[in-house]
Structure 1
Amino acid sequence: MNASPDTNPYLRAATAGVRHHTKNLPASEADRVHVDVLHAHLTGLHQLLDQIAEATRPPHPAAGRHLATAHTRLWQATAEVHAAFHLLPTASGTSAECRPDQLPEGPPVLTICQRHLAAGHAIRRRTTPTDLTSPPRTTACVR
């Protein structure tokens, strides 16, 4: 499975953007806007990982299981980022409860809560509640 350097240019560009932002984000700038953008990135990765896991599972079941586990763990990380978003102060200085229809900043086209609910529906179609709350399994590298 040798991919040419130009096979996934958008994914590589997104990865480079995250690395650049990681190196250049002052700690004082981590606010609701940054957490919202991070959540959007995680939900996008979640959808991509879901597609890759589904395509990998039939020909390579063991690899598919590992990707499915990564899919679940990424969802857990996304859920924690969503929770953190609501604990950060708003423009008015208070935290906000999860209300997809009405956030203190006004109703953007797609709020973090709406995005999170949509992603949640997708993961619940393929994942059990037990899987979503179970601790990560460790695996040995078998290269």
Structure 2
Amino acid sequence: MSSPPRPDDAHPYLRAATAGVRHHARALARPTPPDPVDRVHLDVLHAHLTALHRFLDQLAETTRPPYPGAGRHLATAHTRLWQATAEVHTAFHLLPATSADSTECRPERLPEGPPVLTICQRHLAASHIIRRKTTPADLNRPHTTPCAR
């Protein structure tokens, strides 16, 4: 007799991504002070957030027709996630450049281009999605959604 499948077994990649985020959150909570965040960490976090942003966009689109209320909430989450992604992008540019970002950077050796351009290209691509689906008023609206329970 087999046990019923766990709900998160249907989405192993999401579970793995969540475990990675928890691992890094625990590392920050250690008693020794962590190193300050650097551009590499924010670049990776930005990549994670933009991938999650695209995924949430797809979930909202497929959920909205049969369940409009749930679809609206997912669309709101999509907007809020974009706001977080934009803030991470801004923080990236406020940190000092590392040697990889400096003038010594050899972009011809990096197939994806210089690191500072990679995050900007990813951010620009994600901004096209959010601008297609939301208005400036949506982006500036405070979060007031009450719990549906």
Question: In the alignment, which residue of structure 2 is the partner of 1:22?
Answer: 25
Instruction: Say yes or no: does 1:118 pair with 2:118.
Output: no
1:1-143 counterparts in 2 under 5 A?
4-25=7-28, 27-91=34-98, 104=102, 105=105, 107=107, 108=110, 109=112, 111-136=118-143, 138-143=144-149
C-alpha separation between the residues in 2 aligned to 1:55 and 1:133? 25
In 2 relative to 1, CA 27–57 (structure 1 residues): closer, same or farther, beyond 3 Å? same
Percent identity, aligned pairs only, is 69
**Partner SS state of residue 98, structure 2:** coil
What residue identity is the alignment partner of 1:70?
A
Please state how far the C-alpha of 1:70 moved relative to its aligned partner.
0.6
C-alpha separation between the residues in 2 aligned to 1:16 and 1:30? 20
Asked if 1 retains the 8 angstrom alpha-carbon contact of 2:8 and 2:15, the reply is no
Please state how far the C-alpha of 1:3 moved relative to its aligned partner.
7.1
Note the aligned Cα RMSD (angstroms): 2.0
C-alpha separation between the residues in 1 aligned to 2:125 and 2:6? 32
In structure 2, stretches of 5+ residues that fail to align are none
In structure 1, stretches of 5+ residues that fail to align are 93-102
Question: In the alignment, which residue of structure 2 is the partner of 1:99?
Answer: none
Higher Cα radius of gyration: 2
In proportion to residue count, which structure has more helix? 2
C-alpha separation between the residues in 1 aligned to 2:65 and 2:72? 10
